[in-house]
Amino acid sequence: MKAAAAAIATAQFPILGANDRVNVGIVGLGGRGTDHIHSYASLDADARIAALCDVNQSARERATALVRKLKGYDAKEYTDMRELFASKEVDAVSLPLPNHWHALATIWACQAGKDVYVEKPACHNIFEGQQMIAAARKYKRMVQVGSQSRSIPHVMRAMEMLQQGAIGQVYHARGLCFRRRFSIGHTPDEPVPAGLDWNLFLGPAQWKPYSKNKFAYNWHWFWDTGNGDIGNQGVHQMDICAWGLGRTGWPESVTSAGGKFVWEDDQQTPNTQQASLNFGDAQITFDVRNLPTPPEGLAAMHGPNYVGNIFFGDSGFLTLDNGFQVYKSTAGNISGEAARGSEAGNAEKYEKIADEKPVERVDTTALHMKNFLDAVRARDYKVLHADVEIGVRSAAFCHLANISYRVGHALRMAQSSGRFLADDEANALLTRNYREPFVVSRES
């Protein structure tokens, strides 16, 4: 099967010109898949929605009707993504799939010669993320991860200010994921609904009976298929933490704690989680809260949800959410003469040097997809704002936190291998037990 896939990938595909529209196939047609349809439909000069795929017949029917309404034509329907990947009518694929499918679908698509836009988190575990990178490079495919913050203008400007030293040496990046959620309750196992291919939905995950809570959106809260809120909403803020801190290697140590408090239901992942990744000379800390909570940083109280970042430097701080603010210490660099002594420390004040709010609301997913389509035509993965290597790294930091949470203790890491030191239980969670034939194998 791998030999056949390699042969497909090395076949002569048409070379797209700078002005050619890219024929896109969308795999996964739930809520996020519907967003993908709207975003690609808005990029009329860049993309044509050529194919739609989902394991659920009703989702396919809704998506087909939406494309017909928005664009006036019918896209070809598929149940099995492998058949869509084999189509010569498709240049690139968009994968708004459940997390446990991200890696294998990306690898299969690369082997079939397709460029890939895959939703965050890039991967379900650390091992398969590395195989995604290997496949993208081996088959010379563009693979963009859906970390659309990388294409949002005000976020890009905030990161540029950090890199230019606006707050001095950045030593601490904090991610905040306060998403008010509610108990999912209990749903019994029951027969698979008509029109749903449950085997294809589970794919790499181990077999389990169907229930409503294991399907649709709530798959996020089961370890077999999701990664909790740190891997759902939180991976966006984790990506910004890594970006602003400029970290590309492994942390020296990781610790994470929390729990699933108050709720009595089917959910496995925590609704409250704190994580710390220590790099020796800097750190990332992360907070996930799904129960009532106030916002933090400079944010005013504006509803039950708040996601954002706070960066701490030796001469100031930067807060980032729907805009950003930069405050500089009037006492100067903390290691400089102006800040020496207790009197200077007690008198320290901060001056606001930047305060930017977005002027208008834009489709940030469409901005990110436009960047992907530009890279597809240019045949240069360095054009991508969130190349697979970037997306895999940010997802890995979330996975490290979840592994520490699941084993219940702090972990130390080997910098050369990315494995945990003297901890077989934690190292086992770097990958998973795959279900034949949906196996992510090591790319040679």
User: pLDDT (tens digit, 9 = 90+) per residue, 150-177?
Assistant: 999 999 999 999 999 999 999 999 999 9
Phi, psi torsion values for 220, nearest 5 degrees = -55, -25
Indicate the DSSP class of residue 56.
B
Q: pLDDT value at position 358? A: 77
The answer to whether the peptide bond before residue 437 is cis (omega within 30 degrees of 0) is yes
pLDDT band at 8 (very low <50, low <70, confident <90, very high): very low
Single pTM value for the model = 0.93
Return the structure tokens found at 295. Answer: 């916002």
Give the tens place of pLDDT for each residue, 23-56. Answer: 999 999 999 999 999 999 999 999 999 999 999 9
Q: In terms of Cα–Cα distance, which of 281, 286, 277 is closest to 253? A: 277
Q: Could you tell me the strand order of the sheet in which 306-313 lies? A: 350-356, 324-329, 316-320, 306-313, 170-178, 283-289, 272-278, 253-259, 411-412
- Average pLDDT of the segment spanning 372-397: 98
pLDDT of residue 149: 97
Question: What are 227's two structure tokens?
Answer: 């990664």
CA-based angle 218:205:439, to the nearest 5?
A: 145
Host H or E run for residue 171: strand 170-178
Identify the structural domains of the chain with CATH numbers, from first to last. 2-150+365-390 (3.40.50.720), 153-359+395-428 (3.30.360.10)
Q: Convert the pLDDT of each residue in 173-191 to its tens digit.
A: 999 999 999 999 999 999 9
